[in-house]
Structure 1
Amino acid sequence: MTMYSAALSGILDREPAPASGIESFDVDYRVDGVDYRGYVARPAGEERHPGVLVVHDWLGVTDYVRMRCDMLARLGYTGFAADVYGADVRPSAEDAAAVAGGFYQDRPLWRKRMTEAFDQMISQPSVDSQRTAAIGYCFGGSSVLELARTGAAVDAVVSFHGGLLTGPAGEAERITAKLLVLHGAADPVAPDEALLAFENDLRTAPSVDWQVVTYASAMHAFTLPDANVPEHGAQFQAVAERRSWDAMKAFLAEVLG
């Protein structure tokens, strides 16, 4: 069982642990010669549960994403933390922008890593592969939207303060997932013009079910307790963190049942 900081434990404990408990463990996987180390948290027992892929921010798989997997397990899901970077890549805060930026410059590789992680999740014995979701934070928020653009058979996708990228004309029509974008109104990473371009791109695909929720005064990284650089547009906001989690819970309950 992972021991979390007081700030992360305070968020985790909003979801009461089930009497039967949860099980959690690291999971190693290898694809095309690259080693990855993710994390799984699930309700105890042998039953299958809806699977939720959880994608890290630009620091890679950390206690933050493990804690979110644990929260999902307490809600009755199997949370699977994807490792987009690879097991040997855990950048410092100083190097993280360059590492994440490499994926923004190579979207085919980014999407490949995401589909590989999704495939690993649905192969887990505790996952009901017919009920799946993907959620992500910052870089991870952008990542799950990239997964959706591949046409992956994921039912629900939730981006928390992610970058909002568009694609080639007509690509949005590939999306089969229902989308929920949880956005900070004061996020310089995805300013108003980026949000409008993202929405206009989705409007070209009328069949796509999407929604955007914008939180007043929330900056980038508003769900991360350690975010405290408002001069760079990133700061934790407790109200937006709680509201966005509740919005995700309602959305997953609606889509996954």
Structure 2
Amino acid sequence: MRMLRGWCVGTLLFAQSVFSAGQAMAAEDVPLVNRLEGPQVVTETVTYRANGEEHVGLIARDAKAQGRRPGILLVHEWWGLNSYARKRAEQLAGLGYVVMAVDMYGGGRTAEHPKEAGAFSSAVMSDWPKAESSFNSALAVLRSRPEVDGERMAAIGYCFGGAVVLNMALTGAPLKAVVSFHGSPSIAVTEPEPFAGRVVIQNGAADTLVAQEDLDKLVATFQSLETRTTLIQYPGARHAFTNPESDAKAAKYDLPLGYDAAADSASWQVMLNLFNEVFKTPKKSVKT
């Protein structure tokens, strides 16, 4: 398994198993009619307040699905809540989850130039208490939805968003799992707390924007808190390996980015199999 680098007892076995075929959700959680006819993904813009400011997020869900389903918070790259983040939210919604794409910048702001994106993301991460409050405001919005099971929640993030969700895990957030895709491993939380859920960090082995020593420090921090953590590194994959738009941005702005279809597909399946595991509903006992 040269493509995987793992830490923690049992991590490598987990990393191997997640590549097996798996369903996004347990079969009993998805009505048969939906599986036969396919989903009907609908989206809606949601405006919410955080730290006295207006934020503009997106809710994506399957209108055919019935009952309360797991909720997923999705945090965007440093470009902001753009079309890529929206597409990922819709993709997850099509698998039966209720997804909220979070607006961490406020006002629905997005960036086109790297300098602007860097300024936006740095402003957020330099004031972690405010960032945490913004995330928790979005979490409250998603949890309040009638179709969401508030006991089955997770968060995923890309690049900048990866840093946000990893730091939320370090706050002990009430989530079943956190998954980072090519996220920054910088620790912004001053007093990390134990996290009861699972943490999966997915990084490109050829990512020059992420230092190995920072990854090691992050994993060691989670280990010290006895958090079950997996780090998977994909050989040859560069920063932003999940985003098909990365090559164009790399060429336009001379950035060390690159799309990697194999790593994109594998990392997505890792996430889905993890969700299938942590969101399983306990079987009801049958009295005889």
Q: TM-score, normalised by structure 2?
A: 0.78
Aligned counterparts, 1:205-220, within 5 A:
205-206=225-226, 208-220=227-239
In the TM superposition, what is the alpha-carbon distance from 1:186 to its structure 2 partner?
Answer: 1.3
Distance 1:199 1:20 in 2: 37
Letter of the 2:167 partner, please give it: E
2:54 matches 1:35: yes
2:267 — aligned with what?
244
Letter of the 2:175 partner, please give it: V
Letter of the 1:24 partner, please give it: T
In the TM superposition, what is the alpha-carbon distance from 1:22 to its structure 2 partner?
Answer: 2.1
In the TM superposition, what is the alpha-carbon distance from 1:17 to its structure 2 partner?
Answer: 9.6
- Structure 1's 74 and 132: CA in aligned 2 closer, same or farther, altered over 3 A? same
2:101 matches 1:81: yes
Q: CA RMSD in A?
A: 2.0
In the TM superposition, what is the alpha-carbon distance from 1:187 to its structure 2 partner?
Answer: 1.3
| Partner of residue 92 from structure 1, selected from 112, 123, 139 | 112
Letter of the 1:166 partner, please give it: I
Which protein is richer in strand relative to its size?
Answer: 1
In the TM superposition, what is the alpha-carbon distance from 1:204 to its structure 2 partner?
Answer: 1.2
| Partner of residue 277 from structure 2, selected from 248, 254, 257 | 254
Unaligned runs of 5+ in 2: 1-23, 25-34, 281-288
Structure number with the bigger relative contact order (C-alpha 8 A, sep ≥ 6) is: 2
2:249 matches 1:226: no
In the TM superposition, what is the alpha-carbon distance from 1:32 to its structure 2 partner?
Answer: 3.9
Cα deviation code 1:208-230 (max 9, x no counterpart): 11111110011110001111228
User: Contact 1:186 / 1:233 at 8 angstroms: preserved in 2?
Assistant: no
Distance 2:189 2:147 in 1: 36
Identical columns (%): 34
2:209 — aligned with what?
189
Distance 2:108 2:206 in 1: 34
2:68 matches 1:48: yes
Unaligned runs of 5+ in 1: 1-14
Distance 2:103 2:36 in 1: 25
Aligned counterparts, 1:1-257, within 5 A:
19-45=38-64, 46-94=66-114, 95-166=116-187, 171-206=191-226, 208-228=227-247, 229=250, 232-257=255-280
User: Aligned with 1:249: secondary structure?
Assistant: helix
Distance 1:48 1:199 in 2: 33
User: Aligned with 2:209: secondary structure?
Assistant: coil
- Structure 1's 17 and 227: CA in aligned 2 closer, same or farther, altered over 3 A? farther
In the TM superposition, what is the alpha-carbon distance from 1:47 to its structure 2 partner?
Answer: 2.4
User: Contact 1:18 / 1:74 at 8 angstroms: preserved in 2?
Assistant: no
- Structure 1's 163 and 19: CA in aligned 2 closer, same or farther, altered over 3 A? same
User: Aligned with 1:28: secondary structure?
Assistant: strand
Alignment size in residue pairs: 241
In the TM superposition, what is the alpha-carbon distance from 1:90 to its structure 2 partner?
Answer: 2.0
Distance 2:157 2:51 in 1: 24
Distance 2:217 2:255 in 1: 23
After the TM superposition, which of the residue ranges 88-97 and 195-204 deviates more from structure 2?
88-97
- Structure 1's 168 and 77: CA in aligned 2 closer, same or farther, altered over 3 A? closer
- Structure 1's 32 and 97: CA in aligned 2 closer, same or farther, altered over 3 A? closer
User: Contact 1:84 / 1:117 at 8 angstroms: preserved in 2?
Assistant: no
Distance 1:216 1:106 in 2: 33
Distance 1:154 1:192 in 2: 26
In the TM superposition, what is the alpha-carbon distance from 1:18 to its structure 2 partner?
Answer: 5.2
User: Contact 1:53 / 1:79 at 8 angstroms: preserved in 2?
Assistant: yes
Distance 2:214 2:52 in 1: 36
User: Aligned with 1:125: secondary structure?
Assistant: coil
